[in-house]
Amino acid sequence: MFDFFYILDLLGTLAFAISGALAGRERRLDLFGMTILAFATAIGGGTIRDMMIGWTPVMWLTNLSYFYVTLLGVVMAIVFYKKFNFLRYSLFLFDTIGIAVFTLIGIEKGMKVGLHPVICVTLGTITACFGGVIRDILANKIPLIFKQEIYATACILGGLVYYLLNYFELSKDILYIGTAGIIILIRVLAVKYKWSLPFANV
């Protein structure tokens, strides 16, 4: 993948690491606890994906950039904690970009090992969302994707767009931009207009 894509991947990792560290701080965890939540959020989804497809060692063991970026996220969460109240919109945008990029990475890794498109989209969604699931479980909270908010659904719809564009054999650039764009658009509109999935009333 091109360098810009890789940079977005690292920015998404940084945003997830900060959100994990902030969750630890809100739960009044010590430095070690904050760091664990940061790593769980930043690399948890990718780790689960790589283990599921037998892609070992997992990505952050062979590329220390993810390790260093996650530590940077912890430091930023500590140093700039009081300012993050004014930066939450920026963090939301980075997080949204992150899930878009991680969805693409998960889909393409699934394709490289010859998996069915449905499974590839599932892997993309796992890559994008399950770091947050692990973070929320460790912080004793109901994971965000299990609530009404549109989150994983945006990744799934983005995955469908990926295969639609791929069917017409469009260039990789259009494929990436189109898929990431629809995920970002759905996520932003869902938050702005408070879109949500219905409750399962039994």
Residue ranges of the chain with pLDDT lower than 50?
1
Domain boundaries, the chain: 3-192
Q: Which region holds residue 54: left if phi is over 0, alpha if psi is between -120 and 50, else beta? A: left
pLDDT number for residue 148: 63
Residue 200: predicted pLDDT: 63
Which positions ≥6 away from 78 have C-beta within 8 Å?
A: 21, 25, 31, 34
Q: Where are the alpha helices (DSSP H) in the chain?
A: 3-26, 31-52, 59-62, 65-79, 84-112, 117-138, 152-167, 172-192
What is the pTM assigned to this prediction? 0.87
Q: Which are the contacts of 124, defined by CB distance < 8 A and separation ≥ 6?
A: 102, 103, 104, 105, 106, 107, 110, 155, 158, 159, 162
Tokens of residue 201, six digits: 């009333």
Cβ atoms of 159 and 119 within 8 Å: the answer is no
- Whole-number pLDDT of residue 12: 82
Q: Residue 118: what pLDDT?
A: 96
